[in-house]
Amino acid sequence: MPSYTGPVHLLACRDSPPAGCNPVVVAPLPSKVLEIAPPWVRTDLLGSNNEPRAMPLADFIEETMRVLGTDAEEVLVERAKPLRNNAGPGEAAFVTQFNDMMAGPK
């Protein structure tokens, strides 16, 4: 996992950005970069707020925070694991099944 030891830049704000915000450099701190790989999550971002096949946002946040509290090298919620773990010989069949599921009933 990549690690970084160097200045950490924070944005200190008195009011909503950008007014009243000043960059602050904090002394070098050891940091670790973690990737958070979400599944399809119910949000307004892609118009999926009412999509029953998408993971509820509150559930995603709760599970992600729980994984962040561990020493995990990857931050994956359970719903994202089938997509993450399926590279290889069975990938084509999995992608076809996934696409059929996303298309809905025929």
pLDDT digits (tens, 9 = 90+) for 35-73: 888 888 999 887 888 989 899 999 999 999 999 999 888
Query: Do 64 and 78 form a contact (C-beta atoms < 8 A)?
Result: no
3-state SS assignment for residue 92: helix
Has residue 33 got a pLDDT over 80?
A: no
How confident is the prediction for the chain on average, in pLDDT?
A: 76
Interacting residues of 87 by C-beta distance below 8 A, sequence separation 6+: none
Average pLDDT over residues 70-77: 87
Question: Is 77 exposed, middle or buried (CB count within 10 Å of its CB: 0-12, 13-18, 19+)?
Answer: buried
How far apart (Å, rounded) are the C-alpha atoms in residues 91 and 82?
A: 11
Asked if 5 and 29 count as a contact pair (C-beta separation under 8 A), the reply is yes
Looking at the predicted structure, is the pLDDT value of residue 80 above 90? Answer: no
Q: How confident is the model at residue 94 (pLDDT cuts 50, 70, 90)?
A: confident
Structure tokens at 34: 């973690």
Phi then psi for residue 63, to 5 deg, are -70, -40
Q: Alpha-carbon distance 106 to 91, whole Å?
A: 23
- Check if the beta carbon of residue 24 is closer than 8 Å to that of residue 13: no
